[in-house]
Amino acid sequence: MPLDAQALSTLVAVLAVAVVVLAVWVAWLQRSDALLRRRLRRLIGDGEGVGLDELLDRQFRRLDTVAERVDALNRLHHELQGLAQRSIQKVGVVRFNPFADTGGDQSFAVALLDAEGNGVVLSSLHGRADTRIFAKPVQGGRSKHALSDEEQDAIRKALSPAGV
């Protein structure tokens, strides 16, 4: 059954459209391929003369190195966090006048405590003739030694959230 001229021209038009669509699709695929290659080069480096397996192996080694560094940093972080808990973090200061015959608040009590309320309270009593300094250990915000009101105030100030 021979094709008439109109059917033939319709077939040619359909084939021409199909060729154009295929050409556009091939162009799009080539552009996508070029973008993927560019991204892959940026990810794994130049890689001239190196196979994909070797490039992936190199990336896995880098990941292992980064993981080791992160582990070391985590260990250091925990060590520093432990040191910080035992360092002086809380300070309370009280100035006072213990003797009526001296002028000014020349005496003081200072509490120096870590995060758990452990440390020392230092007191200085200033008189006309001399100055006396005392140090008393503090555990959990308390001392086994008798504390003056000012020393207790200094510890309270150090342990209060505002530090005042």
* pTM for the full predicted model: 0.58
Cα gap 24→30, rounded to integer Å: 10
CB 90, CB 163: distance < 8 Å = yes
Phi, psi of 46 (to 5 degrees): -65, -55
pLDDT one-digit tens code per residue, 38-65: 887 777 666 566 677 887 888 899 999 9
Q: Tell me the pLDDT of the chain averaged across its residues.
A: 89
Beta strands 107-113 and 90-96, pairing class: antiparallel
In this prediction, residues 4-20 reach a mean pLDDT of 91
91-122 per-position pLDDT tens digit: 999 999 887 776 778 899 999 999 999 999 99
Are 117 and 161 within 8 A, CB to CB? Answer: no
Helix (H/G/I), strand (E/B), else coil: 109: strand
Token output for 127: 């008189």
Question: What number of other Cβ atoms are within 10 A of residue 126's Cβ?
Answer: 18
Domain spans of the chain, in order of start: 1-44, 48-85, 90-159
For residue 29, what pLDDT is reported? 96
H-type helices in 2-93, by residue range? 5-44, 52-85
